Amino acid sequence: MTDVLRRGRVSLAFAFLVQGVAFALLVTRIPAIQERYGVSDALLPVFLAAVPILAGIGSVTTERLVKRVPPSRVLRWSQPVVLLALLGVGAGGQMAVLAGALAAFGLAVGALDASMNMLGVSLQRAYGRSIMLSFHAAYSLGGIAGASLAWVGAHGELALWVSYLPVVLVLLPAALAGSRWYVDGGDRPAAEDTGGDGAAVGLRWLVPLCLVMTVAYIGDSTVSNWSAKYLQDVLGGSEELATVPYNVYMVTTLLGRTIGDVGVRRFGAVAVVRAGTLVAAVGFAVVAGAPGAWVGMLGFTLLGLGLCVLVPQTFAAAGRRADEHGGPRASDAAVARLNVFNYVGFLIGSPLVGALGDVWSYRGAMLVPMVLVLVTLVCARSFAPQPDRYGGGHERPHTADVGRGSNGL
């Protein structure tokens, strides 16, 4: 494996980590942001929904943009925008400033998420084996670091900009420095989106993967938005204990993604996705039926171990299958379209559980994402590897596909 690929892998993993830090610093300080700007409870959901909607627009825009510029360039300049927008959220004082900063954050996050995963798929193609989970493990690690930094800021009663400024001052130049080693896909000709194989890439086989992406993020948003309330209000846990489930979920997500690539190489993507789906479903069932807080904690632990493999493997499958049709550019288009359903699931998950909890019960509401995530079992064959031509312009072609294993680093 060449030094170019190794440097590209490390620099991209760092970009994933930086994004995890930035996103966690935003979402974990929402109460402080609401208080700083005087955002009412009625208006807050509008602001929160606007970010993923704009991120979806940013992802769609990136699909068109990478036809003219490489994904590495999109990532190189969208990541500083995300960090500066985060700082803008913390430093502003008027509602218009908040709206503008969140708009910039949302659009840049969409471009960032799409381009990061495009480069991840490209590098996996070049390696000839599963490495996609390792990038998302870096994102999870960044999320844990960002949440910890947010706790320090909240515990010390620091102003938002005081919490955000040191992070931006450190991460922004580091991300720009690391971006010089990003590795784009090869230069094989791609099918255009207007008819032929390009249309097939976007409209036929991609549909099951879009469904998996949606239900995975419904499950993830259920945990992130409702785990604390559920443990305290339904399972009778203390206020302090209620903060633990999401941290446990993040740690087990990191653990699962750290070792997940090994499982894919040994057992194949289909087996890993099916196992993750079943573990996640059992996790939701345990949460729904838990007699007390500690059993509920076990359920959230299982959810982290199960859900963590679905999103990275969905991106990997999309890139692999698109590559069969039209090469790296078709792969980029498929990843960008698939990425939109990340935000669709995020928008659906939290309101769905909240509405069902109000009109039915929160225990019953937890069974709904359990049923939805089981849809992945029906779609599991979409993750099956096919004989492929690796190399992507980086090195000699590989005959091993993801999930079939290969030697070397």
| pLDDT of 395 higher than 70 | no
Going by pLDDT thresholds of 50, 70 and 90, the confidence category of residue 398 is very low
Q: CA of 257: how far to CAs of 156, 213, 406, in Å?
A: 32, 16, 19
Nearest alpha carbon to residue 276 among 143, 134, 133: 133
- CA dist 178 and 12 (Å) reads 8
Question: Which pair of tokens denotes residue 199?
Answer: 């249309």
Mean pLDDT of the chain: 87
Q: Under 8 Å CB-to-CB from 22, ≥6 apart: which residues? A: 82, 83, 86, 142, 146, 167, 171
pLDDT digits (tens, 9 = 90+) for 291-337: 999 999 999 999 999 999 999 999 999 998 887 766 567 889 999 99
pLDDT digits (tens, 9 = 90+) for 76-117: 999 999 999 999 999 998 999 999 999 999 999 999 999 999
Mean pLDDT of all residues in 54-76: 95
Of 61 and 326, the one with more pLDDT: 61
The pLDDT of residue 302 is 96
Nearest alpha carbon to residue 253 among 195, 318, 317, 303: 303
The pLDDT of residue 326 is 67
DSSP 199-237: HHHHHTTHHHHHHHHHHHHHHHHHHHHHHHHIIIIIS--
* The CATH number of the domain covering residues in 1-177: 1.20.1250.20
Do 312 and 124 contact (CB within 8 A), yes or no?
no
Of 321 and 137, the one with more pLDDT: 137
Calculate the CA dihedral of residues 326, 317, 17, 105 and round it to 10 degrees: 70
Nearest alpha carbon to residue 279 among 261, 252, 258: 252
Q: What phi and psi, each to the nearest 5 degrees, are found at residue 390?
A: -90, 170
Mean pLDDT of all residues in 341-369: 93
Q: What is the 3-state secondary structure (H, E, C) of 253-273?
A: HHHHHHHHHHHHHHHCHHHHH
The total number of residues shown for the chain amounts to: 409
Residue spans of the domains in the chain: they are 1-177, 194-386
pLDDT digits (tens, 9 = 90+) for 207-232: 999 999 999 999 999 998 899 889 98
Domain 194-386 sits in CATH 1.20.1250.20: yes
- CA dist 243 and 162 (Å) reads 24
Distance of alpha carbon 11 from the chain centroid: 18
Nearest alpha carbon to residue 160 among 331, 29, 297, 328: 29
The pLDDT of residue 234 is 93
Work out whether the CA dihedral 34, 37, 40, 45 comes out positive or negative. negative
pLDDT digits (tens, 9 = 90+) for 141-196: 999 999 889 888 888 889 999 999 999 999 999 999 999 999 997 543 343 443 44
For the entire predicted model, the pTM comes to 0.88
The pLDDT of residue 201 is 45
Task: Report the run of H or E that residue 326 belongs to, with start and end.
Answer: helix 310-326
Nearest alpha carbon to residue 325 among 188, 189, 186, 201: 201
Task: Report the run of H or E that residue 111 belongs to, with start and end.
Answer: helix 95-127
